[in-house]
Structure 1
């Protein structure tokens, strides 16, 4: 039994999936909004947040970013092994 099956989707709570991300300048994340990102190999990470802001971070290997993300941009992203914590 899944205790989270009927929970409303929000930007907090336990992730229901960890999905690999292919950075894309024109498309949002295919599963919707991520509640955070996990990065295997560090570098620059360019994202569009749920508030519509474009941000670029430098992250080390094996990083977790607890931030609502709508899109991971290809331009400006050198980090690899990006995965999205998804609620849906």
Structure 2
């Protein structure tokens, strides 16, 4: 039973869905996540929802990045086990 199923999913609510991210220099994610979980430490190169490109350096393993991105780039991303959260 889910006591919270009738509540709206907001950016501050816990994620309800997740999917592995395969970094790509040419393909956007199917849907913009509201956060990214980083399983293995490293750098995460992304294209933000607003179109800016940035590399987040030295992200620790187990971090959850509260960022909305359209693409996780293969070039420049050394972190692994990335998971999109919705």
> Separation in 2 of the partners of 1:33 and 1:25?
16
**Aligned twin of 2:81:** 81
- Give 1 or 2 for the bigger CA radius of gyration: 2
How far did 1:13 drift? 4.3
> How many equivalent residue pairs?
81
Mark the runs of 5 or more structure 1 residues left unpaired by the alignment.
none
How far did 1:3 drift? 1.8
Aligned partner of residue 45 in structure 2, secondary structure: strand
> Separation in 2 of the partners of 1:83 and 1:38?
5
**Aligned twin of 1:37:** 36
1:57 counterpart = 2:60: no
Aligned partner of residue 34 in structure 1, secondary structure: coil
What CA RMSD, in Å, does the superposition of the two structures yield over aligned residues? Answer: 1.6
Mark the runs of 5 or more structure 2 residues left unpaired by the alignment.
none
TM-score, reference length from structure 1: 0.82
How far did 1:17 drift? 0.6
**Aligned twin of 1:3:** 6
How far did 1:18 drift? 1.2
Q: Once structures 1 and 2 are overlaid, which stretch shifts more, 53-62 or 13-22?
A: 13-22
**Aligned twin of 2:19:** 19
